[in-house]
Each structure stands twice: as C-alpha cells, then as structure tokens.
Chain A
Amino acid sequence: MFNKSKPHRVLPAFGLSMGYTIIYLSLIILIPVAVLFLKATTLSFSDIWQTVTNDRVIASFKLTFYTSFVAAVVNAIFGTLIAWVLVKYQFPGKKIVDALVDLPFALPTAVAGIALTTIYAPNGWIGQLFEPIGVRIAFTPIGIMIALTFIGLPFVVRTVQPVLQDFDRQFEEAASTLGANSTQIFFKIILPTLFPAILTGFALAFARALGEYGSVVFISGNMPMKTEIVPLLIVTKLEQFDYAGAAAIASVMLIFSFILLFVINFWQWRIAKKHQVA
C-alpha cells in the first residue's frame, strides 16, 4: 500500500538495512574509536601536551611525516609514469605487469617487510651494492622510505589509470594540429587533466604510509630518535603498559588521519559531482 510519508522509497527494507548498517558500524568502528579519545582525556591537558611534545615523540612524528611524504612523492611520479605506460603503450607481458601493480595490496605487510630488509641489508642483494660507497639503506630513514614506497605504489597507478583511459584524444590531436609539440601537449593539456587524480593518489598513498607498521618495523631498525615511526612508538608505550600515553599519541595521529580522509573524500565527491554536471 502507499505510504504517504515516504513516497519515493519504492524498494523495501530501507529501515532494516540502514539500521543494521548503523548498529554494526557503531559496534565495530565508532564506539572503539570513541573509547580511544575517551582514554586520552583521562590525562589532564598538560599531561597530554607533555606526552606528545616529548622529544622522542616529536622526533618520531617528524620522521613519519617526512618519510611518508617522500615515499608519496616518489609514487606520484613513478605511479603516473607506470599508468601512462600501461594505458598508452602495447608491449609483451603487459597484462601480467598490470596485475603485479596490485601486489602491495595483496602481499601481507610483514612479508614485504622481511623481504625488503633482506634485500637492502648491508649483505643483501641490493644493499651490498651500496655498502662500498658508504650508503646504508636498511636500518636508516632511506629503508623506511623504500618500504613506504612499496606499500603506496598501487594508489597513484590505480587512480590515474582510469582517467588516462577516458582521456579524449581529440584534445591531443587538436593541439598537435595547432602546432604544439609533444612536451607542450603533455604539460599544458595532459598533466592538468591528470592532476586531480595524481593528487588523490598521492593523498591516499601518504595517508596509508602515515599509519604503516608491518613493512617498516623490520627495515627501520627502530632506534629511538632516529628510525622510530609513530605506530611503533604506540606499540612501545603499550608494552610499557602506558595505556593513556599510547592513547594520547594515537589520538593525535588519528586526528591527522581523519583530516586527510575527509579532504580526500570531499575532493573525490566534488570531482564526481562536477562530472555529473558536465
């Protein structure tokens, strides 16, 4: 029968599915995350401030942001290049290469961590090449960047690839007819079109890198002040039963993550809306 209060809901079970979604979301995600903030507030404000402005904590925040940023930049550049090659060119084995790009999503981080450490250790396959020139990779910030580049690799490729596929060749051809050379076409036409996608991929890779633990913990060496990332510091606090301290650091980290998440989603939502209008 017609229900006058909800005229446009022809399909059944809106209340049921929405209710279930909200309840399950609250139980598994929202309430546990709220408890974290609650725990942090059991400390007084000055205690929280002291915990998160401690030299060791500041050093690890700096390291985490710095290495994540560098890794995300490397991924933005090489990810765009890989997406370009996969869309524009034909070569043998392309399907396999395309599938392998997703390996960092599928390979457990601990496995990536021990494999990268073994390769880049001073006696490893690649590490020994750098040892004679005095460059250490494993157990330094460079090692952390390598692990973070690995885990962030698919994000930029997978956000840029579809945009490049839909890209209308007409614009390239028009520019070419009007006398633009390929460098001009790339920088004036293609790059501006790709830029939102590259930025989204960059932000996703950066956000993922900030929280990464498994792949980094093996290769970083975990020296306080030098190669200790924030997630590791949280684990250390937990092992010392400093639950409130762990919660305080985690809360700061979470606030950064939430801001990034909202910016990324808002950005993608706006792009989607723009496309609908056009």
Chain B
Amino acid sequence: MNTKTIAQANTVSLQGLKKWVLIGIALAFLGLFIVIPLIAVFSEALKKGIELYFAALTEPDALSAIKLTLITAAIAVPVNTVFGVIAAYAIAKFSFRGKNILVTLIDIPFAVSPVIAGLVFVLLFGSQGLLGPFLEANDIKIVFAVPGIILATLFVTFPFVARELIPIMQEQGTDEEQAGRILGANGWQMFFRITLPNIKWGLLYGVILCNARAMGEFGAVSVVSGHIRGMTNTIPLHVEILYNEYNFTAAFAVASLLAILALFTLVLKSVVEWKSRKE
C-alpha cells in the first residue's frame, strides 16, 4: 500500500515534469522563431536613437511608399471583400455541380508563388506581353506602374474573405433566409437583414487578414513594380531598397511600421475571435 502511494506520487510528479518540459520546448521554439525576430526589428530600428527613427519614417520616399501602400489596400481590400461575400453566398447557399472545383480554383492564389502572381501580369501587360503593343499604342501603363501593383495585390489577396465565409455560411444553412422570404422580405432586405448580420464576425476576420496581406505583400508587387523610388514603391519594397543600400537602421525603422501593423492585426483578430465565440 505504501509503495503504491509512492508510485502514484511519482507518476504525478512525472506528469508534471513532462508537462513543463513540453511547455518549455514549445515556448523555446516560438521564442526562437517568433519573439526574437520581432524584438530584432524594433531593437535595430531604434539602435541609433529615436530621432533617426522618425527621420527614416518622414523622409519623402518613405512617405510616398506609405501613401501607395494605403491606396493599394484601400482598393484591393474592398474589391476582394465584395467578391468574397458574393462568391461565398453563391457557393454556400446553393447546391450545384462542380462546387469543389470552384472552391479549389478560388484557392489558387494560396498555392501560387507570389513571384508567379507578379509574373502573370508582366506577361499579360508588359511591353513584350500579350496586350503590350495595344497598351503602348494607347499610352496606358499597367506594369511598372500603380495599376500593376493593385492587380498583383488583388491576385494574392483574392481568396482571403471568400475562404473565411464559405464554411461559416455553409454551417448556417438557408433556413433563416427562407423564413425571411416567406414572410415577404425582398432579396435586398433578406441579404442586409439576415445574411450579412449573420456573417459579420467572419467577414471582419477575413477583412483583417486580407488587409494585412495587401499591405505587406512583397514578392508579387516586387515583380510588377519596377522599383521606381517615390513612384512605385510600397512599404515592403522601400524596406528592401534601404536594406540593400546597407541603410539598416532606416530599413528596420520602416519595417517596424509593418511589424506594428502585424501586431495590431493579431490583437484585432483575437478580439474578433473572442467576440464571435461569445455570441
């Protein structure tokens, strides 16, 4: 009997030990891969003092990069949000053949390298591209200009909202909408009073992720931008230029803006998750 209790006590302490070892490994791994890089961004940015930090952020090229990033997100996010809601409505609320194929096609941007996402628009609109001669004749610039950046951003952020909404809307089914219709609601009333309020948290969640990607996209935008300073540079591209010029402090200062955006995104995301669980 005595030995049994000792054995039990041993298992309990062994369980406790196992727990803390596993927690320790998990935290060490996350510390190494997530926390240290995050600290590095801010520590490098502030290395040479707060004055240089703000100088790097308010310099004209930095300001124009910030402006272009905001414009790009202001166009790409709403356009893909509208698409996401409409596509999710069509896919989740109706049954039709080939649904799985359509969902997979919407996923393409998740599977495609960002570089290839940029490349397709260069091949389509570049001077050697399919529509190149036509665009040149009419003096329209898409690649190496702002429209190309917006198109590339539309491509890479395409699935975010749709992917978030499809499972939510599928789970909700069509009962509430049908009830609304029977009670005499027209299409718009049904959509704005039933469908949209039901998906508000999922929608917000998708928009947050879509926005983070739109503001932070590097590969696709890099291929189509042409890297013209003060003209076609977004914040991530500006970071690259500064870094490649060995202007590390300024590069990290501008990068810290994006890191703050990322942290803000995570906080917002957690709040939305918490709110939606509460309902």
Residues of A within 8 A of B (CB): 8-14, 17-18, 20-21, 24-25, 28-33, 35-36, 38-39, 78, 81-82, 84-86, 89, 91, 95, 97, 99-112, 114-116, 118-119, 125-126, 146, 149-150, 153, 182, 207-208, 210-214, 218, 230-232, 234-235, 238, 241, 243, 246-247, 250, 253-254, 257-258, 260-262, 265-266, 269
B112 and A211: CB pair below 8 A?
Answer: yes
A85 and B23: CB pair below 8 A?
Answer: yes
A89 and B19: CB pair below 8 A?
Answer: yes
- The stretch among B60-68, B118-126, B133-141 that forms the contact with chain A is B118-126
B218 and A110: CB pair below 8 A?
Answer: yes
Residues of A within 8 A of B103 (CB): 265
New contact pairs (15) apart from A104-B34, A243-B129, A254-B116, CB-CB < 8 Å? A13-B89, A14-B94, A29-B109, A36-B120, A38-B130, A84-B26, A97-B30, A99-B269, A103-B266, A106-B212, A108-B216, A207-B110, A230-B113, A231-B115, A260-B111
List, sorted by A's number, 5 A–B pairs whose CB atoms are closer than 8 Å: A20-B90, A25-B102, A29-B155, A108-B236, A114-B243
Bound Cα distance from A91 to B27, whole angstroms: 11
- Prevailing SS type, chain A contact patch: helix
B236 and A110: CB pair below 8 A?
Answer: yes
A213 and B219: CB pair below 8 A?
Answer: yes
| Residue of B32, B94, B121, B237 with most partner-chain A CB within 10 A | B94
Name A13's closest neighbour in chain B (CB-CB): B187
Pick from A21, A35, A84: contact of B123, CB under 8 Å: A35
Bound Cα distance from A116 to B259, whole angstroms: 13
B19 and A108: CB pair below 8 A?
Answer: no
Pick from B18, B237, B258: contact of A107, CB under 8 Å: B258
A21 and B86: CB pair below 8 A?
Answer: yes
Pick from A85, A214, A246: contact of B219, CB under 8 Å: A214
Nearest-neighbour CB distance to chain B for A219, whole angstroms, equals: 11
Nearest-neighbour CB distance to chain B for A162, whole angstroms, equals: 12
Pick from A101, A118, A246: contact of B248, CB under 8 Å: A118
Pick from B86, B113, B248, B270: contact of A99, CB under 8 Å: B270
Residues of B within 8 A of A243 (CB): 122-123, 126, 128-129
A110 and B113: CB pair below 8 A?
Answer: no
Bound Cα distance from A241 to B123, whole angstroms: 11
Residues of B within 8 A of A254 (CB): 112, 116
Given contacts A21-B90, A214-B114, A265-B104, contact A108 B258 (CB under 8 A): yes
Residues of B within 8 A of A246 (CB): 119
B105 and A150: CB pair below 8 A?
Answer: no
Residues of B within 8 A of A (CB): 18-19, 22-23, 25-27, 29-30, 32-38, 40-41, 44, 83, 86-87, 89-91, 93-96, 100, 102-116, 119-124, 126, 128-130, 151, 154-155, 158, 174, 177-178, 181, 187, 190, 209, 212, 215-219, 222-223, 235-237, 239-240, 243, 248, 251-252, 255, 258-259, 261-263, 265-267, 269-270
Nearest-neighbour CB distance to chain B for A145, whole angstroms, equals: 12
Residues of B within 8 A of A14 (CB): 90, 93-94
Name B235's closest neighbour in chain A (CB-CB): A108
Given contacts A103-B262, A119-B40, A238-B119, contact A11 B174 (CB under 8 A): yes
Residues of B within 8 A of A153 (CB): 33-34
Nearest-neighbour CB distance to chain B for A109, whole angstroms, equals: 5
A107 and B115: CB pair below 8 A?
Answer: no
Pick from A81, A107, A232, A250: contact of B119, CB under 8 Å: A250
B113 and A257: CB pair below 8 A?
Answer: yes
Given contacts A28-B155, A261-B107, contact A107 B219 (CB under 8 A): no
Given contacts A20-B86, A116-B37, contact A211 B116 (CB under 8 A): yes
A110 and B119: CB pair below 8 A?
Answer: no
Bound Cα distance from A261 to B158, whole angstroms: 16
Nearest-neighbour CB distance to chain A for B54, whole angstroms, equals: 19
A12 and B190: CB pair below 8 A?
Answer: yes
Pick from B86, B212, B262: contact of A17, CB under 8 Å: B86
Pick from A12, A29, A35, A108: contact of B218, CB under 8 Å: A108
Bound Cα distance from A106 to B267, whole angstroms: 11
Pick from A99, A115, A214: contact of B41, CB under 8 Å: A115
Given contacts A258-B111, A261-B108, contact A149 B126 (CB under 8 A): no
Residues of B within 8 A of A241 (CB): 128
| Residue of A11, A91, A100, A241 with most partner-chain B CB within 10 A | A11
Bound Cα distance from A18 to B91, whole angstroms: 8
A211 and B113: CB pair below 8 A?
Answer: yes
Residues of A within 8 A of B190 (CB): 11-12
Pick from A38, A115, A238: contact of B40, CB under 8 Å: A115
Pick from B37, B222, B261: contact of A115, CB under 8 Å: B37
Residues of B within 8 A of A235 (CB): 115, 222-223
Residues of B within 8 A of A39 (CB): 123, 130
Nearest-neighbour CB distance to chain B for A149, whole angstroms, equals: 6
